[in-house]
Amino acid sequence: MGTNGGGKKSRATLSEINVTPLVDVMLVLLIMFMVTTPLMQQGIDVDLPKTSASGVEMNEEPFVLVIGPDQKMTIAKTSIAMGDLKTKLKAIFENKKNKQVYIQADRKVDYGFVAEAMAEVRAAGIFNIGLITMPKDN
């Protein structure tokens, strides 16, 4: 029944695992994670200036976006709507070297509104954003 036709060839079982396909799959997964990880960032990067007790030294007057308690935004005492913020900032900072905006928001303003304003500032191409606060009394 199961003779081998005169030859003495027998099948040896392979006890080794072929790792080449495993390495190929792992490299593809690694590349996929390396490409998609930077795209998964959520939120807004805030680059706050480092301050000392004497304050921040400025060569020119800082650009301040003020958000009042009623969520009304003003730039240099001029009222501005959220929808117009991006285009106005692009026009203002088109020829400026120092692209930095300081946001001064009232404590009562919703955090989501401030985050939305920061997103509009970033969409205008300004990535240096500072938040103005008052020093804490001890």
- Does residue 115 lie in a domain region? yes
Q: What is the pLDDT of residue 5?
A: 55
Q: Is residue 74 part of a domain?
A: yes
Residue 3: what pLDDT?
53
d(CA 15, CA 52): 67
- Whether the CB-CB separation of 57 and 65 falls below 8 Å is answered with no
Q: Would strands 128-131 and 63-67 be described as parallel, antiparallel, or unpaired?
A: unpaired
- Which pLDDT tens digit goes with each residue over 51-82? 444 455 556 678 889 888 888 898 888 889 99
Give me the number of domains the chain comprises. Answer: 1
Q: Reply yes or no on whether the pLDDT at 128 is more than 80.
A: yes
The CATH number of the domain holding residue 75 is: 3.30.420.270
| 96 part of a folded domain | yes
pLDDT tens by residue, 99-115: 899 998 888 888 899 99
Q: What does the alpha-carbon distance between residue 75 and residue 88 come to, in Å, rounded to a whole number?
A: 10
In-domain check, residue 5: no
Q: DSSP per residue over 97-120, as a string?
A: S--EEEEEE-TTS-HHHHHHHHHH
pTM: 0.56
Does 4 fall in a domain? no
| Average pLDDT over all residues of the chain | 78
Structural domain boundaries enclosing 107: 63-131
Q: How far apart are CA 40 and CA 15, in angstroms?
A: 42
Q: Is 49 a residue whose pLDDT tops 80?
A: no
